[in-house]
Structure 1
């Protein structure tokens, strides 16, 4: 991504990656816990998305910059 940005790329869409993080966290939670209560894995999903967003902010050079 850094090379694309240095070459002038102004937008990188990470929507699909976020969707996969939500789905993967849901599946992983149910595999580990064995419970199928749909509201229980929300915290795990939140953490997965937050981690992905944080990594992408750092990757794209936005760490420490206000929006």
Structure 2
């Protein structure tokens, strides 16, 4: 699997997770739901953004190396 395919898969999984979380929040509205969002969902968002950005950089460097080796 290429890095760009993995990046796309992670983006789609992230979108799907957030869609499901928004649906879940409509029913789960107590303090535990807010704790879960704070402790897990909110914590994941910046880490996922950083991971996706890093994957883009690795993909760019890999493509550059590939071009230079041709």
Instruction: Give TM-score scaled by structure 2 length.
Output: 0.41
Larger radius of gyration: 2
Bigger RCO of structures 1 and 2 (CA < 8 A, at least 6 apart) = 2
